[in-house]
Amino acid sequence: MKAMVLCAGKGTRLGELTLELPKPLLDIHGRPILDRILANLARHGFTEVVLNLHHRSDAIRAYVGDGSAWGLKLALVEEAELLGTAGSVRHAAHLLGGPGPILVHYGDVVTDQDLTAMVSFHQEKAALATLLLHQRAHSNSVVVLDEEQRIQRLLERPTEAERKGVESPWVNSGIYLLDPAVLSLIPVGHSDFPRQVFPGLISSGRLLGFPLTGYRCAIDSPERLERARTDLQDHPWPEPTRLRQASGPRHSPHA
């Protein structure tokens, strides 16, 4: 299976922490965010992974190498200008084609989610797209589901006026499974999935939500980074046993 990890962002909300270091390489107990993402992808059978790069791409290139430390085949795609979550995937579509599904994973989301279960759900429902969802009050997104987990409404960074009358605990987790047919629906240039792509799929009845069952934290502020470090202090990170035995522990470039 194929996946794309979005690694191009500048991480400006993290201030000085990302001036010289790209956000996916921020350290959590000796393991960068990106290491934890790639380990979980490999554990769930993803073998080909695309990384989009922009800010401090040299550091990411040096860290990941050819992907063999995770048992992965990596492709690295530079973006001269940031293209957004969906535009980045469209830009790399030539590397993501084939029998799906395709996983899209935000590069600042740390999770040990059971992706195998999410893939099974996506395929059983014949979904065009399945969004990993978690519950959080007053988040920067709101997702409304029906009884069959079909998404009925999706608001991204809504105003207070837009939130009014929309009651749902579910929010976007930043991990998506896509049927390959969705690639051709993404406009060329800058675009984002929650604003420009997913709303157009709602009427099809094939935009679904899958509830989070594991740990998840988006590292989008210094406070969130410290929260993840606290949460994961004594939390063993799952990865393929064969890789752990073969290569031993990996370390942060700044450890």
Q: With cut-offs at 50, 70 and 90, classify the pLDDT of residue 249.
A: very low
Average pLDDT of the residues in 126-137:
95
Domains of the chain: 2-247 (3.90.550.10)
Percent of the chain residues topping a pLDDT of 90: 77
Backbone angles phi, psi at 154, to 5 degrees: -140, 120
Q: How far apart are CA 152 and CA 199, in angstroms?
A: 9
Take residue 64 and report the two structure tokens written for it: 């990941």
202-239: per-residue pLDDT in tens? 999 999 999 999 999 999 999 999 999 999 999 888 87
Confirm if 160 and 171 have CB atoms less than 8 A apart: no
Helical H segments across 92-172, by residue range: 115-124, 160-163
Res 7: pLDDT: 97
